[in-house]
Amino acid sequence: MIVAAFLLPAALYAQQAEAPAAKPNPHMESHIGNLTGHADAGAQLYYRYCWGCHGARGDGNGENAQYLNPMPRNFVAAIFKCRSTPTGTLPLDSDLYNTLGRGFNFTNMPSWITLTSQERANLVAFIKTFSPRWVTEKPGDPIQVPPEPKLTIESIKHGGELFQKLECWKCHGQEGRGDGPSASTLTDSNDQPIRPYNFTSTNRSKCGRTNSELYRIFMTGLDGTPMPSFADVVKPEDAWDLVHYLRTLQYNNPSPELTLWESTAEGRAIVAAKRVENTNTGSGVKP
């Protein structure tokens, strides 16, 4: 009984004490197809190429970070924009690998396609050593992207209706120029101002250039930004209609969607009204 008197408080204390916080694993691996990346090899690459922006601790506070907008990714928080996994979950290794190869336009993050496949895999493994999330969580299950249906005028028009109904225009603006009424109020996970994507500027979105990649963006959301996931409110076929409509907003970049849209009188008139002709600026920036 005396022993129990000593043991019981200890047992109660052990129950009540918090579990120690998970720590990052310095020996992470990455798996992309047949590639296996190793963190120790990735470390050498990171401290050659990446630390100036992403910081020696991977927290996005590199010596140059204060001058950059948007700020470099914080690998400690492990919140990533471009994923094939549902919002709030970790990306797949292949998502990070593809991001390295693609880079981010309109940021200081270049494409690292010149690195070898093994080097990029090694970098992915090392990036995963900065956050304990990679120890305590598994990446989400990748969303399924159904085959793209046939492009039709009805699809484009329905996509336009969805653009209104889902209130995409509040951030992206009625013409997709990123100048919606809410645009100036938006901040990212670093509490930094962030502008919505301007569809008229380029046909290259943050997470790629293809229709599938555009589809994936609004089904997974861009974590760390105000762009949510619409997976719970948009049916897959409707999502494809929205993709087709969004391509018609990119009137400076030829696409099958834009061509089909401009083959109608209505589409032709709408696009013509957006264009600013005879500027002769030669600046390379298309108005």
Partner 1 sequence: MERSFSKEVREGSARLGTALLFSVVLLALFLADCRPAKAIPAFARKYGMPCSACHEAWPKLSPFGQAFKDNGYQLGNDRDAPIFQQPAYWPIALRITPNWHFETANHVIVDSGEGSTLANVKTQGFDYTGMDMLTAGTLARNFSFLLVPSSDETGAFHFESANLRFSNLLGSSWFNIKVGKFELDNLQSEKRILTLSANGGFYQNYHFQPWVAPGVPSGLYVSGIGDNQLGVEWLGHSKNDRTRVSAALLSPTDGNPDFQSGIGGAAGRTYDAFFTASQAFEAGSLGLQRFGGFAYIGHASTYPEYTQFNTGGGPIGGTGIGNEPYYRVGLLGMWYLKKLDVTTMWFYGHDSVYLGTNTPTNLGSTGLPDGAHAPSWNGALIETHYTFNPQMIFVNRYELIRMSQQALDSNPSDLGNIDALTFGFRYYPFINTRAGFAFHNEYSVVWQRKILVSPATGLPIDLTSNSLMFGLDFAF
Least Å from the CB of residue 211 to partner 1:
19
Q: Is the dihedral of CA 28, 32, 33, 35 positive or negative?
A: negative
Using only the alpha carbons of the chain, give its radius of gyration.
23
Least Å from the CB of residue 222 to partner 1:
17
Whether the Cβ atoms of residue 78 and residue 177 lie closer than 8 Å to each other:
no
**Is the CB of 50 or the CB of 246 nearer to partner 1?**
50
- Report the distance separating Cα 187 and Cα 208, nearest Å: 22
Question: Site for partner 1 (CB under 8 A): how many residues?
Answer: 38
Q: Is residue 132 involved in binding partner 1 (CB under 8 A)?
A: no
Residue in 87, 105, 253, 255 binding partner 1, rule: CB under 8 A: 105
Residue in 177, 195, 204, 209 binding partner 1, rule: CB under 8 A: 204
**Is the CB of 51 or the CB of 169 nearer to partner 1?**
51
Q: Is residue 280 involved in binding partner 1 (CB under 8 A)?
A: no
Residue in 77, 115, 143, 186 binding partner 1, rule: CB under 8 A: 115
Q: Is residue 44 involved in binding partner 1 (CB under 8 A)?
A: yes
**Is the CB of 112 or the CB of 163 nearer to partner 1?**
112
Q: Is residue 109 involved in binding partner 1 (CB under 8 A)?
A: yes
Q: Is residue 63 involved in binding partner 1 (CB under 8 A)?
A: yes
Q: What values do phi and psi take at 29, rounded to 5?
A: -120, 160
Least Å from the CB of residue 104 to partner 1:
7
Residue in 104, 126, 197, 245 binding partner 1, rule: CB under 8 A: 104
- Report the distance separating Cα 80 and Cα 213, nearest Å: 15
Least Å from the CB of residue 71 to partner 1:
11
Q: Is residue 262 involved in binding partner 1 (CB under 8 A)?
A: no
**Is the CB of 15 or the CB of 66 nearer to partner 1?**
66
**Is the CB of 63 or the CB of 237 nearer to partner 1?**
63
Q: Is residue 47 involved in binding partner 1 (CB under 8 A)?
A: yes
Peptide bond into 70 cis (omega under 30): yes
Q: Which of 118, 123, 141 is nearest to 28 (CA)?
A: 123
Least Å from the CB of residue 64 to partner 1:
4
Fill in the per-residue mask, 66 to 95: x = in contact with partner 1 (CB under 8 A), - = not in contact: -xx---------------------------
Task: Give the interface with partner 1 as residue ranges (CB under 8 A).
Answer: 26, 41, 44, 47-49, 51-53, 62-64, 67-68, 103-119, 201-202, 204, 282-285
